[in-house]
Amino acid sequence: MFDPAILRCYFVAGTQDIHHSPSALLAKVTMALKNGITAFQFREKGSSHLDETAKIELGGQLKRLCQSYGVPLFVDDDVQLAQQIHADGIHVGQKDQQVEQVLSAVGSQMMVGYSCNTSEQVEHANKLAVDYIGVGPIYPTDSKADADPAIGPQQLQKLVQLSKHPVVAIGGINNQNFGEVANTNCAGAAVISYLANNNNLREAIDQMKTAFEH
Ligand code: TZP
Ligand code: MG
């Protein structure tokens, strides 16, 4: 049974977000786990991306690390990588492999998250056996090159009401806007820069988890 509480403080990162360095990413994720993140997504994107062997090695290390803290690890977009490293879940975007294909490949083995940012997409997701949907970007973001325009908290609230799946909000979320994001009744937030660029992870993660404790 999927537990929506894992969506409260969902850290998303790849080497492109942490000094282009696998060891720096591992160190950052270790600190984030020690300080209480509730889920992690390995999202390796952009020109700095590692070759397949390096991705599998780093993914396996991240999986073992997350497992030692009892925190689920999701892989962004890459079903093969997710299977190779025995990830707990896979996250699929609108521009990625068809979610129906992903569900039939891994649906019973792994949790499946799916990105949506329009009512049509949420209605489509309502017919699927995905575990959660990711909605965003809520605010402008510098962390995703091809991000869609920001939808804002009011549209987020509409999509939360429409969705039969738990919703994790993403895009430009930080301690300045946790309150209005949490007021939409989404299950939590997924963040890159808020944690990637923060040296006080204890305080940052505590504030985030408190905001989404409904
Ligand atoms: N998908 C939609 S916005 C986004 C992704 C991966 C980037 C989120 O990064 P940040 O730094 O938390 O805005
Ligand atoms: Mg993707």
CB-ligand 1 contact for 113 (6 Å cutoff): no
Is the pLDDT at 47 greater than 70? The verdict is: no
- Residue 191, domain extent: 4-211
- Span between the terminal Cα atoms of the chain, in Å: 19
Which ligand lies nearest the alpha carbon of 170? Answer: 1
Ligand 2: distance of its center to the CA of 205 in Å? Answer: 24
- Interaxial angle between packed helices 119-126 and 152-162, expressed in degrees from 0 to 180 and rounded to the nearest 10: 20
Collect all residues with Cβ–Cβ distance below 8 Å to 163 and sequence separation of at least 6: 116, 122, 125, 126, 133, 135
* 52 φψ region: left (φ > 0), alpha (ψ -120 to 50), beta (else): alpha
Ligand 2 centre and the CA of 171: distance in Å? 13
The question of whether 23 is a catalytic residue gets the answer: no
Q: What is the pLDDT of residues 119-132, one digit of tens each?
A: 999 999 999 999 99
Separation between Cα atoms, residue 91 and residue 97, nearest integer Å: 10
Selecting among 28, 55, 63, 115, the annotated active-site residue is 115
> Which protein residue has the closest C-alpha to ligand 1 atom 4?
171
For 74-121, the pLDDT digits (tens) are 999 999 999 999 999 999 999 888 999 999 999 789 999 999 999 999
Per residue in 163-204, pLDDT (tens digit) is 999 999 999 999 999 999 999 999 999 999 999 999 999 999
Write down the ipTM of this complex: 0.97
- Candidates 115, 114, 118, 174; CA nearest to 142 is 174
Ligand number with the minimum distance to the CA of 41: 1
Q: What is the CATH number of the domain that holds 133?
A: 3.20.20.70
34 counts as catalytic = no
* Number of domains, the chain: 1
Question: Catalytic site residue 21?
Answer: no
Atom of ligand 1 nearest to the CA of 148: 2
**Which has the closest alpha carbon to 204: 212, 195, 213?**
195
